[in-house]
Structure 1
């Protein structure tokens, strides 16, 4: 007599405590993953804002003007001509990362909603 073959409605109502714990753990994992993704999106949006501000500031400057760039904790002297394309490339990469993380957030959120629906879980507001 295996547990997989016995799937009556009376068994569905009488879930063992371990099942409830597993559901709680899974719900917490979904919640933690969503929080982590949202946090990373927030960090990247701040970086994107900083890049856009620097690009906006540097764009009208002469290309041969001296500027400084922090690379791995080392301040390096460059020109606007060298730095501006790198900043633009970084900005595009950050934008793509935000888009990917936003899609991942939506997918995880949909999976969590489906998990809640299937398992009849309601999250209480704290």
Structure 2
């Protein structure tokens, strides 16, 4: 019965494909984190710039490609909410990245894989 619990050995090509998939997934997650961090920086900059302004002051905001006129009072809370959402998403993606990286490391150890540096 102990033979039934063992996983079948993967061929070298299957191992290479699996390792590439892990690498691609990690790159995609890291890329998305970087993109969101840029958005977070932009939100922080705009919030910092708009905070001292009078609430009645007109400002413009791009919503789904359409420029709309609003007031600081309307835009600032929305920016802060968006900023919080972006921060939470970055946290979730970072957790996902760490989990996938750990899974990849375990896969490498289990299959005795070493990544050659170029």
Shorter-normalised TM range: over 0.9
Moved over 2 A (4+): none
Cα distance in 1 for residues equivalent to 2:20 and 2:33? 20
Structure 1 residue 64: deviation in Å?
A: 0.2
Structure 1 residue 42: deviation in Å?
A: 0.1
Structure 1 gap segments, 5+ residues each? none
Does the alignment pair 1:44 with 2:14?
A: no
Match of 2:105 in 1: 113
Cα distance in 2 for residues equivalent to 1:93 and 1:124? 38
Structure 2 gap segments, 5+ residues each? none
TM-score (ref. length: structure 2): 0.92
Does the alignment pair 1:34 with 2:26?
A: yes
Match of 1:101 in 2: 93
Larger radius of gyration between Structure 1 and Structure 2: 1
Structure 1 residue 43: deviation in Å?
A: 0.1
Deviations 1:16-68 (A, max 9, x none): xx711111000000000000000000000000000000000000000000000
Structure 1 residue 90: deviation in Å?
A: 0.2
Does the alignment pair 1:66 with 2:61?
A: no
Aligned length: 114
TM-score (ref. length: structure 1): 0.87
